[in-house]
Structure 1
Amino acid sequence: MILLYADLHIHTTASDGSDTPGEVVKKALRLGLRAIAISDHDTLSGVTEAQQAATGFRLEVLSGVEVNTYFQGNEVHVLGYLIDPRNDEFVTKLEEFQGERLERTKKMVAKLRELDINIDLDRVLELSAGGSVGRPHVAQALLEKGYVSSLQEAFATYIGAGKPAFVPREKLTPVEAIQLIIRAEGVPVLAHPGLVKLDPFLTDLIEAGLKGIEVWHRNHTPLMVDHYYHLAQKYHLIPTGGSDYHGVGHDTCNILGGAVAPYQSVQLLKAAAGKN
């Protein structure tokens, strides 16, 4: 029996990834993946290009998005799969997110200048390539100018939470993101739970409509995978997974297919969305 796998957490140049959606599709085909999901930060703009690039090949491309939220001072990401891209409320909300991202970036660049660290806003926007601009692009600009030796150092020294140039985002809660995704006929999934420690509040998210949990992730240890798989079974959540691929320039999440889910996860997502 041939085992089929899916990488359901991938970023492209539509947000903070280094590969275009088309390049991601080519790599996925070389790896023999059966399905992928383009799940850029706060945007669906990379999905259509990827789906067009996969036309005629045995590779499914699912629409996805990763929504940044906050809970008790911690950043929590919620993945939304199979969202209706014509849903006016969701499209409007994503446009608001893009505006907030731009204003946040401007404030970070200004704070860095106060520290005598001069990076050009236009260069940061250029690095975002017209996609969702964010801290990774600021970090890349810092790296280019020689202020840091790695992207991780940029976050640890300047733009991470609590650091001198950090600017908090507008506070969307995980529950609000889950409900927003449901209203757009999508399937909400908690991303990389091992990085946020939300176990005590998982039932609250389930009551709000959470349908899945990311079990397989590049930064999950085998013990974490086992733990979250059992939680998925206990609460009847869809177990999903993916590499969180950002491209070769990323410090850690730089291997497409580095974490995958069984193809059954795709089938379960489709069933939950009523799109089988």
Structure 2
Amino acid sequence: MIDLHIHSTYSDGTCSPADIIKKVTEKGLYGFSLTDHDTTEGIPKIIECSIPQKIHFLPGIEISCDTPKHEIHILGYGINYKSETLNQTLSDLRQKRMQRNLDMIALFQKDGYPITLEKLQNGNPNTVITRAHFSRVLIEEGICKNSDQAFKKYLGDTCKYYLPKPFFHPKDALKLILDANGIPVLAHPFQYHFSSLEIENLIRELMTYGLKGLEIYHSTHHLGQITKLLEWQKKYHLLGSGGSDFHGNNKPDIVIGTGRGGMYVPDHLFNLLEHASAGTL
């Protein structure tokens, strides 16, 4: 069993790299990947923690980019996380998105809501702030009962306090991963509220930019969706991946390795991605 979609405190998770290794070890995983949003800064911390020899680790990332209809996410596996080009580009993206977060904070504060940068960072100034952080603070302040309410009333795309992030084209995200010797994989394809035809067209478009795989197994994917993704994987000769999308307490119902309880990602997918990133496939 493996888990190739995990977030730490270096993006919008609540577990440190050391905590993640502890959970991975307790779960008895064959392999895992850290895929923080738009940053590689947690990867050296994972490596410094001395991963048990029996557990395999693949450096990863999840990059947010945009289509005209919806933001999408591209996972990158086996990346050269020390790449200066990769890290400088990600730093520039984070700075632009930080300004967007500051502008959203200003909108909330103008209407009297006690949202501050310090509360969003929650003691971790390195965290990559997303709408999940705003949701957490809204719940902690008693403004919302849960994340669904926070997004429906305050953070959804049509809400007063939402501001779009700077546009980043999928072509650029894929190039960034490929140039860092990584394997780009479309994350959770059924989360974007696209029809099956739109998803397949998106896959075909992304393949022209260098897409190499699909995240088939995910905490939100049901059997019918997994079956469809396996069909597309075979049809387009793509690699497969899978993971829980673990965020710690930010998504408390999702557990490393098994997601919401029924997820199982086969070990051989780790080996295939590792070999592909090493250029041995």
Aligning the two structures, in what range does the TM-score lie when normalised by the shorter sequence?
A: over 0.9
Match of 2:135 in 1: 139
Compare 104-113 and 236-245 and name the one that shifted more.
Answer: 104-113
1:2-31 Cα offsets, whole Å, 9 max, x none, are xxx210000011110111111111111111
Q: Are the aligned partners of 2:97 and 2:166 in contact in 1 as well (CA < 8 Å)? A: no
Give the alignment partner of residue 69 of structure 2, picking from 73, 90, 96.
73
Q: Percent identity?
A: 30
Aligned twin of 1:243: 244
How many Å separate the matches in 2 of 1:6 and 1:150?
30
CA distance in 2, matches of 1:22, 1:228: 33
Q: Which runs of 5+ in 1 are unaligned?
A: none
Aligned residues: 271
Match of residue 38, structure 1, among 34, 38, 42: 34
Q: SS where residue 37 of structure 1 aligns? A: strand
- 1:146-185 to structure 2, matched below 5 A, reads 146-185=142-181
Match of 1:269 among 232, 250, 273: 273
SS of equivalent residue, structure 1 residue 188: strand
Could you tell me the TM-score, scaled by structure 1's length?
Answer: 0.93
Distance in 1 between residues matched to 2:220 and 2:103, nearest whole Å: 30
1:190 and 1:128 map into 2 onto residues whose CA distance is 28
**Alpha-carbon offset, residue 138 of structure 1:** 1.6
Q: Secondary structure at the match of 1:248?
A: helix
| SS of corresponding position for 1:78 | strand
Alignment root-mean-square deviation, CA: 1.6
Cα distance in 1 for residues equivalent to 2:48 and 2:252: 29
How far 1:86 sits from its partner (Å)? 2.4
Q: Deviations over 1:185-212 (max 9, x none)?
A: 1110000001123222211111211001
Q: Cα deviations across residues 211-230 of structure 1 (Å, max 9, x unaligned)?
A: 01000000011000010011
**Matches of residues 192-231 of structure 1 in structure 2 within 5 Å?**
192-196=188-192, 197=194, 198-231=199-232
Deviation at 1:65, TM superposition (A): 0.7
Aligned letter for 2:164?
A: P
Post-superposition offset of 1:129? 4.5
Moved more, 9-18 or 83-92: 83-92
Distance 1:25-1:275 versus aligned 2 partners, 3 A rule:
farther
Between stretches 38-47 and 121-130, larger displacement belongs to 121-130
Answer yes or no: is the 8 Å Cα contact 1:119–1:141 preserved in 2. Answer: yes
Aligned runs of 1:76-155 on 2, under 5 Å? 76-126=72-122, 128-155=124-151
Deviation at 1:122, TM superposition (A): 2.2
Stretch of structure 1 that moved more, 136-145 or 162-171: 136-145
Gaps (5+ residues) in structure 2?
none
